[in-house]
Amino acid sequence: MIKKVHILFIFVATIFVSCSSSTSEEEEEIVVDNFDRGAMLTNIADNIIIPAYTDFSTKMTALKSAGETFTETPNQTNLENLRSSWLVAYKTWQYLEVFNFGKAEEIQYSFYMNVYPLTVLDVETNISNGSYDLTSVNNQDAQGFPAIDYLLYGVADSDVTIIEKYTTDENSEGYKNYLTDVLNQMTTLTEQVFIDWSSYRNEFVSSTSNTATSAVNILVNDYVYYYEKGLRANKFGIPAGVFSSTALPEKVEAYYSRIYSKELALEALVAVEALFKGNHYNSSTAGVGFDDYLIDIEREDISTSIINQIEVARTQINTLNSDFYEQINTNDIAILKAYDELQKVVVLLKVDMLQAFNISVDYVDADGD
């Protein structure tokens, strides 16, 4: 998983004053536009972020409960129910990964939830030893949704032998304990971030200035970063070999279940488009979003281009195999075309939109694109 590197911007202003009898110390505030940033932040907080966390928290509770049922009675029915709960929560996670600020950034939430590819050796070593610290950064690639993916689909070749890992295997208790601990860790971190929003919300919606540390600028940058890295690069570019000499299909999301990489990618695309439009979470109800900001400053052309190009990218993604691993191995040209269509949106967001908003990029590219 590519990690974000923030830049510390230090502005040094040297002012030469001539033909003046006096100087004064005044803070100069540059007013870029009259758009109501507070209305946009309020909509995004109250109708997108908080409802999404509320829903995700509920689904994580259900996932944890399904895990408890399975570890108590490992059978085919409980395995299928646990897999279903995992997928439902994983799809909802696609709406939250973009919001990597506040408490989420502080505790590195996303790195404990969805670092892939999974390091199987670390998982198996942890299970064998029975001693591990899931709060350690060294175990970020051995937990979260990818670890559940492995534990439910990848520990053996069939459902029968997977269930045996939790019943008759010599270390069945180790597998049960690890599954339980991973789910507990995911639930605990989710609750920390969710609860923090009750106090962080007011600070967020009131931070409307155009500075490197304001909520608007951080939100917009995280949005562009997630689209460029989390969606375009991680889900498509890296496994397709865009940044390497050969394709790396084993780096697809949901590698072990094999049939959900496309579904998760499409869900992520829906999420970023909905946030751009300000649509309420899990609803077509429109609110104030980035598109309204662009329209207000008379750059509707950029908004239209972004929305149209997202649709072009979606059309190409829909042509792909549901299993990106299989797609890359049989016809990588098709997934490379999807990457190319997604890349066109990056230019519109990272160059055109940010320039229109007068917002500077606050991260460094880490994949050589």
3 state DSSP class of 6: strand
Q: What tens digit of pLDDT does each residue of 178-203 get?
A: 999 999 999 999 999 999 999 999 99
pLDDT tens by residue, 152-178 = 999 999 999 999 999 999 999 999 999
Higher pLDDT, 26 or 62: 62
Q: Kindly tell me if the per-residue pLDDT of 224 is higher than 70.
A: yes
- For residues 4 and 353, the model is more confident at 353
- Identify the structural domains of the chain with CATH numbers, from first to last: 37-201+210-357 (1.20.1420.20)
Q: Is the dihedral of CA 92, 93, 97, 102 positive or negative?
A: positive
Which pLDDT band, with edges at 50, 70 and 90, does 367 fall under?
low
d(CA 29, CA 327): 52
Return the bridge partners of 6, or none: 363
Confidence grade of residue 363 (pLDDT, cut at 50, 70, 90): confident
**pLDDT higher than threshold 70 for residue 28:** no
- Bridge partners (DSSP) of residue 363 are 6
CA dihedral 191, 175, 267, 62 (to 10 degrees): -50
Task: Go through 35-67 and write b for each residue having 16 or more CB atoms within 10 A of its CB, e for each that does not.
Answer: bebebbbbbbbebbbbbbbebbbebbeebbebb
User: Helix, strand, or coil here: 88?
Assistant: helix
Q: What is the mean pLDDT of the chain?
A: 92
Whether residue 24 has pLDDT greater than 70: no
CA distance 43 to 40: 5
Q: Is-contact 291 276, C-beta < 8 A?
A: yes
Q: Cα dist. 109→68, 91, 192, 335, 352 in Å?
A: 23, 16, 9, 29, 30
Q: Are 146 and 116 in contact (CB under 8 A)?
A: yes
Task: Name the CA dihedral angle for 141, 142, 148, 149, rounded to a multiple of 10 degrees.
Answer: 60
What pLDDT score was predicted for residue 364? 76
pLDDT digits (tens, 9 = 90+) for 269-280: 999 999 999 999
Written as one letter, the residue type at 330 is T
Is residue 55 over pLDDT 80? yes
User: With 50 as the cut, is the pLDDT of residue 16 above it?
Assistant: no
C-beta neighbour count of 13 within 10 angstroms: 5
Three-state secondary structure call for residue 45: helix
215-225 and 37-44 helices cross at what angle (nearest 10)? Answer: 60
Structural contact between residues 79 and 70, judged by C-beta atoms closer than 8 angstroms:
yes
Rg of the chain in Å (alpha carbons)? 23
Please list, in sequence order, all residues whose beta carbon lies within 8 angstroms of the beta carbon of residue 42, skipping any fewer than 6 positions away.
Answer: 205, 288
Work out the average pLDDT over 331-356.
Answer: 98
The per-residue pLDDT for 186 is: 98
Please, which pLDDT band fits residue 121 given cuts at 50, 70 and 90? very high
**Average pLDDT for 301-330:** 98
Q: Is the pLDDT of residue 9 over 70?
A: no
- Pair 256, 148: CB distance under 8 Å: no
pLDDT at 33: 83
Residue 363 DSSP class: B
pLDDT in tens, 96-111: 999 999 999 999 999 9
| Structure token digits, residue 299 | 């750059």
pLDDT higher at 42 or 24 = 42
Q: What would the two tokens of residue 185 be?
A: 């860790």
Under 8 Å between Cβ of 78 and 68: no
Q: Work out the end-to-end distance of the chain between its first and last CA atoms, rounded to an integer number of angstroms.
A: 15
Length of the chain, in residues? 369
Is pLDDT at 10 greater than 80 in this prediction? no
Percent of the chain with pLDDT over 70: 90
- Name the region of 36 (left: φ>0; alpha: ψ -120 to 50; beta: rest): beta
Residue 29 clears pLDDT 80, i.e. is over it: no
pLDDT at 23 over 60: no
